[in-house]
């Protein structure tokens, strides 16, 4: 077998390596500063434009109010705004009610199986397995299973290396061909012996206490069927897109999922880090592996599908804010929009599936909150095409009004995310909420309409390799990769 060229250093001298790193950091810092400064100049320029052209905008408003269509449009817009603001206030109220479940002692911890499905991840799966073994979970209560789903790169060789170094702490298996993440998980579920199953993506690093925090809710709350972990961005220093996503992820998980958890109805346990009660998985795994949509076998959205099926059984799905996992995110626009398309297609399918039981008596206690969460999901889908058509109409008829009002809205609503992140984490990083909102509004607005139109497709989209890299390779035996000590801060 040939050795992988990707492990050969391009700069051999220490001095040359330091010089290269300094240049890379300078370029990254300069481009980041340029983007932040440019964003705020754009936003505050829009505010100034909106202020100075206020008489002109009022004239347009009066003209539209003299037509039936204009009145209807204004009423619809105001109504939609009131609904969204009311929902945001409701989520804030739920967020304030959320409480973290503190970890329990070693004696109380259940038997746990951690499952790591891998496909074309290379060395990353090795780092993931190392971080899991270094967890503070009692090793006699921990089973770690990793499944290579027919990778076309050197993923299997890195898994073998982990097995050689970690011994019986890790069990590895290889699928004869690529069948999809769902099938890799299904095979691991059948091999698992734990009372709790934890799934971790093969490009992710967990904190030392993450597994303990994830399993605790199943012991202290018998109604808990699944737990979502707190996903943060591992590669945020490598590119602009991960840096922006880091702020977006924090808001999505630490604010939105905290609020959903207060209802016991987190809508999606993320693939990067999720935990499931064994009984709940066994009750639905056959239905889950055979799930279809529009006559096609479902190959995506396995996390949201499992969450739905566990909610349907009457269990609660919770969120553990202190259970951190750091995962790699796309660094290029093409990979980012493919990931979002996959997520949106999954949301469309699972919103339909959830609607079939959410308005029935699917569990004891109040269910109104869960239904409100689902209705908000449907509102986004229903408004996707009208909002897009309205946007095109305003661009064609009142471009200055559209641009200025859109940017002013971004400034207002992005400030909510920025203030939240600044309070919880870092003020300087919080500023990336603004470029991300501008970036999303003008380059990713088409995702939901496109996902609705192509909901029947099941391609994963983001795990393909270039043709020239599809060959069998081995990790170099020497020198040893410096990845055993993984330092991850909170």
Please report which residue ranges of 313-426 form alpha helices under DSSP H: 333-358, 368-382, 384-397, 399-424
User: Cα(258)–Cα(252) distance, rounded to whole angstroms?
Assistant: 9
pLDDT in tens, 285-303: 999 999 999 888 888 899 9
pLDDT of residue 227: 98
pLDDT of residue 7: 33
Contact (CB, 8 A) for 306 and 271: no
| Res 477 pLDDT > 90 | no
Q: Is residue 268 part of a domain?
A: yes
pLDDT of residue 47: 87
Q: Classify residue 115 by burial, with Cβ atoms within 10 Å: 0-12, 13-18, 19+.
A: buried
User: Cα(327)–Cα(270) distance, rounded to whole angstroms?
Assistant: 11
Number of separate domains in the chain: 1
Q: Is residue 184 part of a domain?
A: yes
pLDDT of residue 4: 35
User: pTM to 2 decimals?
Assistant: 0.86
Q: Is residue 424 part of a domain?
A: yes
| Res 468 pLDDT > 80 | no
Q: Classify residue 480 by burial, with Cβ atoms within 10 Å: 0-12, 13-18, 19+.
A: exposed
Closest among 490, 374, 484 to 128, alpha carbons compared:
484
| Res 151 pLDDT > 80 | yes
Q: Is residue 89 part of a domain?
A: no
Closest among 203, 234, 233, 198 to 216, alpha carbons compared:
198
Q: Is residue 293 part of a domain?
A: yes
User: Cα(173)–Cα(145) distance, rounded to whole angstroms?
Assistant: 8
User: Cα(113)–Cα(156) distance, rounded to whole angstroms?
Assistant: 20
Q: Average pLDDT, stretch 98-127? A: 96
Q: Is residue 69 part of a domain?
A: no
- Residue 118, sorted as left (phi over 0), alpha (psi -120 to 50) or beta, turns out to be beta
The confidence band for 22, taking pLDDT boundaries of 50, 70 and 90, is low
Average pLDDT of every residue of the chain: 87
Cβ count near 341 (within 10 Å): 22
Range of the domain at 282: 1-52+98-490
Q: Output the domain CATH number for residue 316.
A: 3.90.550.10
Residue 397: both structure tokens together? 């008829």
Q: Is residue 81 part of a domain?
A: no
Convert 417-446 into a string of H (helix), E (strand) and C (coil).
HHHHHHHHCCHHHHCCHHHHHHHHHHHCCC
pLDDT of residue 349: 95
| Res 473 pLDDT > 60 | no
Instruction: Name the phi and psi angles at 170, rounded to 5.
Output: -130, 135
Q: Is residue 216 part of a domain?
A: yes
Q: Is 135 helix (H, G, I), strand (E, B) or coil?
A: coil
The confidence band for 21, taking pLDDT boundaries of 50, 70 and 90, is low
User: Cα(122)–Cα(155) distance, rounded to whole angstroms?
Assistant: 4
* CA 244 to mean position of chain CA atoms: 13
């Amino acid at each position: 077998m040939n050795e992988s060229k990707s492990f050969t250093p391009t700069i051999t001298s220490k001095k040359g390596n330091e010089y290269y790193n300094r240049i890379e950091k300078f370029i990254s810092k300069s481009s980041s500063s340029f983007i932040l400064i440019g964003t705020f100049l754009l936003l505050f320029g829009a505010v100034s434009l909106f202020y100075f052209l206020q008489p002109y905008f009022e004239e347009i408003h009066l003209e539209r109010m003299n037509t039936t269509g204009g009145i209807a449009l204004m009423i619809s817009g105001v109504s939609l705004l009131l609904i969204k603001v009311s929902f945001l206030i409701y989520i804030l109220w739920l967020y304030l009610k959320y409480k973290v479940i503190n970890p329990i002692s070693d004696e109380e911890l259940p038997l746990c199986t951690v499952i790591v499905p891998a496909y074309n991840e290379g060395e990353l799966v090795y780092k993931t397995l190392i971080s899991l073994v270094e967890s503070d979970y009692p090793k006699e209560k921990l089973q770690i299973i990793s499944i290579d789903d027919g990778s076309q790169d050197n993923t299997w060789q890195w898994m073998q290396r982990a097995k050689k170094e970690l011994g019986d702490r890790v069990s590895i298996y290889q699928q004869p061909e690529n069948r999809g993440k769902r099938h890799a998980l299904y095979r691991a579920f059948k091999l698992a012996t734990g009372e709790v199953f934890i799934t971790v993506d093969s490009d992710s690093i967990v904190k030392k206490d993450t597994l303990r925090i994830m399993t605790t809710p199943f012991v202290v709350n018998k109604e808990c069927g699944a737990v979502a972990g707190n996903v943060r961005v591992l590669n945020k220093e490598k590119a602009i897109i991960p840096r922006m996503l880091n702020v977006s992820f924090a808001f999505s998980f630490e604010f939105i999922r905290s609020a959903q958890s207060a209802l016991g109805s987190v809508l999606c346990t993320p693939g990067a880090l999720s935990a499931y009660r064994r009984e709940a998985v066994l009750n639905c795994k056959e239905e889950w592996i055979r799930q279809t949509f529009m006559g096609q076998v479902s190959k995506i959205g396995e996390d949201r599908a499992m969450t739905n099926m566990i909610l349907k059984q009457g269990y609660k799905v919770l969120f553990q804010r202190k259970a951190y996992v750091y995962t790699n995110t796309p660094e290029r626009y093409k990979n980012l929009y493919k990931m979002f398309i996959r997520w949106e297609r999954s949301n469309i399918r699972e919103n339909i599936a959830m609607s079939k039981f959410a308005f029935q008596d699917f569990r004891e206690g109040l269910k109104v909150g869960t239904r409100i969460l689902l209705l908000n999901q449907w509102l986004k889908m229903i408004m996707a095409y009208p909002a897009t058509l309205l946007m095109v109409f305003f661009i064609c008829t009142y471009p200055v009004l559209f641009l200025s009002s859109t940017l002013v809205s971004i400034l207002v609503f992005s400030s909510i995310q920025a203030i939240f992140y600044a309070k919880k984490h870092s003020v300087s990083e919080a500023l990336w909420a603004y470029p991300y909102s501008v970036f999303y509004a003008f380059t990713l607005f088409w995702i939901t309409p496109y996902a609705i139109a192509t909901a029947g497709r099941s391609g994963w989209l983001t795990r393909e390799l270039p043709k020239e890299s599809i060959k069998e390779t081995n990790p170099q035996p020497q020198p040893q990769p410096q990845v055993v000590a993984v330092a991850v801060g909170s």
